[in-house]
Amino acid sequence: MTTTMTPPSAEAIAALAETVHGVVCARDHAEYATEVAGYNSAGTYAPEIVVGAADEHDVQAAVRFAAEHGLTVTVQATGHGNYAPVRDGLLITTTRMQSIELDPDARSVTVGAGVQWQAITPYLEPHGFVAVSGSSPSVSAVGLALGGGLGPLSRTLGCTVDYVEAFRLVDATGEVRVVDHATDEELFWALRGGKVGFGVVTEMRLRLVHLPVLYAGSLYWDGEFIEPVYRAWVDWTRSVPDAVNSSVNIIRFPDADGPPPALRGRTVIHLRYAYASPGATDDSIEAEGEAHLATFRAIGTPLLDTIGRLPGTETSGIHSDPPGQLDVWEHGLFLDEIDQDYVTALLDVVGNGRDAPFIAVETRHFGGAVATKHDESAMGGRDARYSLFLIGAPVRELFAEVLPGLAARIVGAIDQYRHHYTNYHWSGHPTGEAFRRLWTAKQHERLDRVRAAIDPGGMFAFAQTPPPDQPLNTLTDAADGARAS
């Protein structure tokens, strides 16, 4: 905020609590810790006040209260992105905003700010519809759309932002705006991929796709197959059609309950696969989908094979992202065209037999529909061909130095493949080179103009800089320093 006002008194906070339908918690409130907690249990959210909004009225009340008292505002739906150490201001949580309204005739669904993808699918499956979502079923639909929305079917269908029809937004004055192409084209462009700094989205309407069936799932091979599968996959991705979506992931499974018994305690190579052809029939899709897997069927017998026909709504089973709270350290970057030298450099650090404290090292294939519609939304980096995503072992003692150091080594080793822009850099507080890599210079300038117009006082916090004693959960300038050296 550009002005400093008197911090809210206990009486003012109590008065706010009387006006909302949800909850209001100061730091000494019994429900405070529960209210600020998110999916990433390593996140450090400690705002002065948290408002658990039950509806749009509560969001308006919270924003007006923040304006009156000179507080910055941060928003959390599921907490998948709660990496930034928020230590002041007001946090609005939207988990109670769970409205879902399907319009099958219009092929659209309208969802509240806290709705997760997994809550939408039961409404869609009877009609053969899918919503273009991400890989994790527990991410909020609104949050993913604000960031762009890459998912397991994106090469075929595009990104979540391509299907947004309208938002309801509470702006810095506490007023509600309906934002779409007709009402505010610039703000609508910015909200689809511009991430934060515009207001609080309370509701979103999405266009749906008719896709009753997929041929999809996973193949897992033991560690000895990491290199042959990875090398085959890189060559294979150069010629597959846009109906084929895939990624490869080196996973180190703990020897504990949770993973399938065949995978426990093993380091494996995981091929995620989805053949999505909206015109295919139940009879044809298996033959078409299986034909593209012949390369991998010839490599060796997998430990686990879940490939088969799936309802279009069951994409969560392709990536098998873990549910529940986790300590999360992660970093991602986008890549240009990769080759066998990329595989050599990567496996030298994280391949079979290497002692690397990452539970997942994923390379994902883009192109296809991801690369289209560049100028229709603010989502950055859509012309990248691949991405690399690292998830550290959930041991907090590794977050400050060990994981950033090893990740910097990886980034340095594959620097020649690095795409200039990386949507994955977002972690709530990117600064310096990491922030510049989110969007092109032209996109940055346009987003700055929209933010200045919609929130001239800077109420809605973004690009926060963590204090010196707070280690980052994502790699930012550390990797860039290694890259430049």
Domain holding 190: CATH number?
Answer: 3.30.465.10
The count of residues in the chain is: 485
Structural domain tally of the chain?
2
Q: What percent of the chain has pLDDT over 90?
A: 69
Are residue 302 and residue 361 in the same domain, yes or no?
A: yes
Residue 31 is assigned to a structural domain of this protein: no
Confidence of residue 45 (pLDDT cuts 50, 70, 90): confident
Instruction: From 165, 182, 210, give the residue that closes a domain.
Output: 210
Q: C-alpha dihedral over 340, 345, 347, 348, to 10 degrees?
A: 140
pLDDT band at 178 (very low <50, low <70, confident <90, very high): very high
Please check whether residues 268 and 409 belong to one and the same domain. Answer: yes
Q: Which contacts qualify for 180-189: CB closer than 8 Å, 24 or more apart?
A: 186/446, 186/449, 186/450, 186/453, 187/450, 187/454, 189/376, 189/377, 189/378, 189/446, 189/450
What average pLDDT score do residues 458-472 get?
55
Check if the beta carbon of residue 215 is closer than 8 Å to that of residue 287. Answer: no
pLDDT at 425 over 80: no
Average pLDDT, the chain: 88
d(C-alpha 285, C-alpha 198), whole Å:
43
Regarding whether 247 and 180 lie in a shared domain, the answer is no
Summarize the confidence of residues 344-362 as an average pLDDT. Answer: 94
427 and 303 fall within a common domain: yes
Query: Is the predicted pLDDT of residue 319 greater than 50, yes or no?
Result: yes
**Does 366 map to a domain?**
yes
Mean pLDDT to the nearest integer, 65-89: 82
**Does residue 62 belong to any structural domain of this protein?**
no
Pair (248, 380) in one structural domain: yes
* Residues 374 and 296 reside in one and the same domain: yes
Worst-scoring range by mean pLDDT, 47-51, 145-149, 470-474? 470-474
Residue type, 361: V
pLDDT number for residue 325: 63
Of 210, 240, 257, which marks where a domain is finished? Answer: 210
Picking from 444, 364, 360, 349, the residue whose alpha carbon sits closest to that of residue 406 is 349
As given in the structure block, the two tokens for residue 41 are 């249990």
Q: What percent of the chain clears pLDDT 70, i.e. is strictly above it? A: 88
The answer to whether residue 47 is domain-embedded is: no
Domain containing 218: what range? 213-435
Asked whether residue 57 is assigned to any structural domain, the reply reads: no
Within-domain flag for 68: no
* 393 and 253 inside one domain: yes
According to DSSP, residue 431 is labeled -
- Comparing C-alpha atoms, which of 194, 428, 228 is closest to residue 340? 228
Regarding whether 264 and 283 lie in a shared domain, the answer is: yes
- Residue ending a domain, choose from 194, 210, 226: 210
Q: What does residue 104 show for φ and ψ, rounded to 5 degrees?
A: -65, -30
Q: Do 201 and 272 have their domain in common?
A: no
**Distance from C-alpha of 182 to C-alpha of 24, rounded to nearest angstrom:** 36
Q: What does the block give as tokens for 253? A: 């499974």
* Together in a domain, 203 and 217: no
pLDDT at 83: 57
Q: Do 407 and 259 share a domain, yes or no?
A: yes
105 has pLDDT over 60 = yes
466 DSSP 8-state letter: P
Residue 87 lies in a domain: no
Measured in degrees and rounded to the nearest 5, phi and psi for residue 50 equal: -125, 135
Same structural domain, 288 and 368: yes
Whether 116 is covered by a domain: the verdict is yes
Phi-psi region of 272 (alpha: psi -120 to 50; beta: other; left: phi over 0): beta
pLDDT at 422 over 70: yes
Q: How confident is the model at residue 281 (pLDDT cuts 50, 70, 90)?
A: confident
CATH number at residue 229: 3.40.462.20
Q: In the prediction, which pLDDT does 73 show? A: 94
